[in-house]
Amino acid sequence: MIDENEIMPFNFIKYGGVCTGGHNGMRYMIRRTGDKPDFVIEAIVWQGPYAYPAMTKEQLTSEQFDYSPDGRLKAIEWLKEQYETRIDEWNQAPSILDVKPIIHE
């Protein structure tokens, strides 16, 4: 299960860091987005095995949260909810060894 302690702290996000990871076929990202002073925390999930740059907008699910330590915690809870409610989708994710490379031209 996704653990809060495995996600970088709010200060990492505050200074522009992007947290990425995966859990049993679900890939995810937590990042700061928006313009100062209206920053928000955005959490994004998609089916693996590919990394974020290979995905289209239609393949991504995202949600925005308050730009605060509490917003970070809510984003992590949202990731857990996405995993639990869509577990069949994540279980169907192919292995990186079984897919063709995506080449952007």
Per-residue pLDDT of 20-66, as tens digits, reads 999 999 999 999 999 999 999 999 999 999 999 999 999 999 999 99
Q: What tokens appear for 62 in the block?
A: 């995202």
- Compute, in degrees rounded to 10, the torsion defined by CA atoms 71, 75, 78, 80: -130
Span 74-80, average pLDDT: 97
Note the pLDDT of residue 3. 87
For residue 53, is the peptide bond before it cis, meaning its omega torsion is within 30 degrees of 0? no
Residue type, 52: Y
Residue pLDDT, tens place only, 62-75: 999 999 999 999 99
Output the six-digit token pair for 30.
Answer: 């937590």
**Which pLDDT score, from 0 to 100, does residue 76 have?**
97
